Chains A and B, each alone.
Chain A
């Protein structure tokens, strides 16, 4: 008992010191515009400079200072705070958690947004896929605990540092059909599991998505048309979900939980020789209150949840929830004042997210730590080739027979800040 109390006291002290250290590290990582000369000399990537500001937002020049040089020597956009600390202007969008607080940042560095998309252009696969800027979202957590789903999970645990970046655009029509999205996944654990992977993960089948409230919705051709299918699925709400859960008669409450996207990914790194799986991981990326849902009646299929707050069906059904309070600015004679979907006051901005860390497996015992794969994580070889992406895997086999799962990370950190709005 005494040792337990002692242990708790030590853990409490360690926890307190961690908070202090974290505070110090975040202070030390106060945003500073990157060094210009090196970046200026780097040729721009396709992803660089594509963002355009809205009225009153930071200029593109300020935005472009937040860039880094990728492994190919090109200049890529990277993480920046929602508000530029030097000028105080807002970018209107955010990229998630500041990666500089991650225990992995020292070895990972700034993530070049769109680097893998760029490699696909030169990989000779006949595919081209570039994504917008605002969809790149970083999440990380230090010292998370992973446990097996089986009984041994109550006895054993693995501690890990994890950092992810997925391009998860939840404001446009892109993900209705397109299943290829850039994913960076970095993990280092106490059992020597380590992976630093960047690839285009194929989430479900191209041209379709899974409805949040059940069923598959076929939309149309994907970009690129010959996108490969992959594991996992993109769960996205559509009009039928809205109609059944959100627009309700008087006396009932709307279920805005249906306005929730869950991108359940399954990614693999495979060798060219024998097509062997060297590593796999299944993080699930969830977005609450995205700024879109699918409505086939719209020209591009994109409908806005914010508009639901001011919408009423002929039979009187409408959204009845506090979620709409910020949107329903005024009520006059029974008619709501419309709030534009991209108004910063709208809660439907895609800034509430979380990531589930699941099933991190490395089967690379005796193998090299560094592999070069095509942009999809396939064709892994020891030497680079045109369009290849460098992947780092620990030379172990951690397939214990049960998957190790972890906590949900980021769910308690809304990233919407001053001026953050759809599209985000």
Chain B
């Protein structure tokens, strides 16, 4: 009954995928020497040449770091929109995040982060989420490797099947938990974060009309970041 359409053109997603692949490669390239260097250290530790006290000293040194820092990370995450027009289609996909900031206290850092999430779910459909947030990171103690992080900013969720494109933008809040692993001047940080947005209209890029008035983003992501001080 309805006219059939050709395969939707792939726009945006391909470029983003290539970008994320390049970033992933770059991150692995940067990380590899540290990972390789860490292996003998663990061997040394197993031979008794490193002690828990030495590790604590590294952590303490890390905690005393001052000045600006920058980080980049990759991981997996799952995002979805909740709205009257939205189907429940949470699925894991690639995430990336970048952040810059500075230490304002031994246990308190602030910065700005940009995170991205990309899901290619077939039939030419891409879902992307991105956020820009002011973040704060808190260490429970000067020597703690655990930290809590929170962010406040704006997020955008988009659906694109090549013909129809919709997006929802709204203020968002992120909360996360991470752990620092100091290594030769950088820090590896596995982190788990959740993000939620306030409701916002889900609009057509083409017409600006809202297909739903109250679309809320929900996102969780696990990330492995590397931080330079």
Q: Which A residues form the contact surface with B (CB < 8 A)? A: 4, 7, 148-159, 190-192, 264, 284, 356, 358-359, 365, 396-403, 405
Point out the residue from B162, B202, B204, B211 that lies within 8 Å of A150, measured CB to CB: B162
Q: Which residue of B lies closest to A193 (CB)?
A: B209
Tell me if A158 and B211 are in contact (CB < 8 A).
yes
Minimum C-beta distance from B28 to chain A (A): 32
Q: How far is the CA of A157 from the CA of B89 in the complex (A)?
A: 13
Q: Which of B1, B88, B166 contacts A152 (CB 8 A)?
A: B166
* Band of interface residues on B: 35 or more
Find out whether the CB atom of A150 lies under 8 angstroms from the CB atom of B2.
no
Q: List, in ascending order, chain A residues with CB within 8 A of B43's CB.
A: none
Chain B nearest Cβ from A362, distance in angstroms: 9
Query: Is B33 an interface residue when CB atoms closer than 8 A count as contact?
Result: no
Q: Mark B71-107, 1 if CB is under 8 A from A, else 0.
A: 0000000000000111111000000000000000000
Q: Is the CB of B209 within 8 A of A191?
A: yes
Q: Which 9 A-B pairs have the closest CB atoms?
A: A151-B123, A151-B125, A151-B161, A397-B207, A152-B161, A191-B211, A150-B161, A402-B164, A152-B164
Which A residues are in CB contact (< 8 Å) with B206?
399-401
11 more A-B residue pairs beyond the given contacts A159-B85, A403-B3, with a C-beta to C-beta distance below 8 A: A4-B88, A151-B124, A154-B89, A156-B85, A156-B159, A190-B85, A191-B209, A192-B209, A358-B2, A365-B207, A400-B166
Looking at the assembled complex, report how far the CB atom of A288 sits from the nearest CB atom of chain B, in whole angstroms.
Answer: 15
Complexed CA–CA distance, A190 and B128 (Å):
24
Q: Is the CB of B163 within 8 A of A365?
A: no
One of B1, B84, B125, B163 near A154 (C-beta < 8 A): B125
B82 to chain A, nearest CB (A): 11
**Chain B 1-43 per-residue mask, 1 if CB under 8 angstroms from chain A, else 0:** 1111100100000000000000000000000000000000000
A158–B209 alpha-carbon span in the complex (Å): 13
Instruction: List residues of chain B with CB within 8 A of the CB of A157.
Output: 85, 87
Closest to B1 in A: A356
A402 touches B87 (CB 8 A): no
User: Is there contact, CB below 8 Å, between B209 and A365?
Assistant: yes
Nearest A-chain residue to B124, judged by Cβ: A151
CA distance A401 to B209 in the complex (A): 12
Chain A residues near B85 (CB-CB < 8 A): 156-159, 190-191
* C-alpha gap A151/B163 in the complex (Å): 9
The 16 listed contacts between A and B (C-beta, < 8 Å) are A7-B88, A149-B2, A150-B5, A150-B161, A151-B121, A151-B122, A151-B124, A151-B162, A152-B161, A152-B166, A154-B87, A156-B212, A190-B212, A356-B1, A400-B164, A401-B163
Would you call B208 and A150 a contact (CB within 8 A)? Answer: no
Least CB separation from A3: chain B residue = B88
Per-residue CB contact flags for chain B residues 113-157 toward chain A (1 = under 8 Å, else 0) read 000000001111101000000000000000000000000000000
Closest to A362 in B: B209
Contact among A284, A400, A405 with B204 in the assembled complex (CB-CB below 8 Å): A400
Which residues of the other chain, A, contact B8 by a CB distance below 8 angstroms?
150-151
The residues of B with any CB-CB pair to A shorter than 8 Å are: 1-5, 8, 84-89, 121-125, 127, 159-166, 202, 204, 206-212
Q: Contact check, B84 vs A397: say whether CB atoms are below 8 A apart.
A: no
**Minimal beta-carbon separation of A17 from chain B (angstroms):** 18
User: CA of A153 to CA of B209 in the docked complex: distance in angstroms?
Assistant: 17
Contact call B163/A402, Cβ cutoff below 8 A = yes
B87, B163, B164, B208: most-surrounded residue (chain A CB, <10 A): B164
A191 x B212 contact (CB < 8 A): yes
A150 touches B164 (CB 8 A): yes
Q: Do B164 and A159 have beta carbons less than 8 Å apart? A: no
Are A358 and B1 CB-contacts (below 8 A) given A151-B124, A158-B211? Answer: yes
**Cross-chain contact A397 with B209 (CB below 8 angstroms):** yes
Q: Bound complex: CA of A282 vs CA of B46, how far in Å?
A: 75
B161 vs chain A, min Cβ distance (A): 4
**Residue contact A398 to B86, C-beta cutoff 8 Å:** no
Cβ of A284: which chain B residues have Cβ within 8 Å of it? Answer: 1
Q: Give Cα distance in the complex from A397 to B209, angstroms.
A: 6
Residues of B within 8 A of A151 (CB): 8, 121-125, 161-162
Task: State whether A399 and B207 are in contact (beta carbons under 8 Å apart), knowing that A150-B164, A156-B166, A157-B87 are contacts in the complex.
Answer: yes
Which chain A residues border B202 with CB–CB below 8 Å? 156
Please, how many angstroms separate the alpha-carbon atoms of A359 and B89 in the complex?
A: 25
Taking the nearest CB of chain B, how far is it from the CB of A4, in angstroms?
8
What residues of A have a CB within 8 angstroms of the CB of B161 in the complex? 148, 150-153, 402
CB-based nearest A residue for B89 = A155
Tell me which residues across on chain B come within 8 A of A7, comparing CB atoms.
88
Interface centre among B122, B160, B210 (most CB of A within 10 A): B210
Q: How far is the CB of A210 from chain B (nearest CB, A)?
A: 14
Contact A400 B89 (CB under 8 A): no
Query: Across the interface, which residues of A come within 8 angstroms of B212, CB to CB?
Result: 156, 190-191
Residues of chain B within 8 A (CB-CB) of A358 are 1-2
Nearest A-chain residue to B127, judged by Cβ: A155
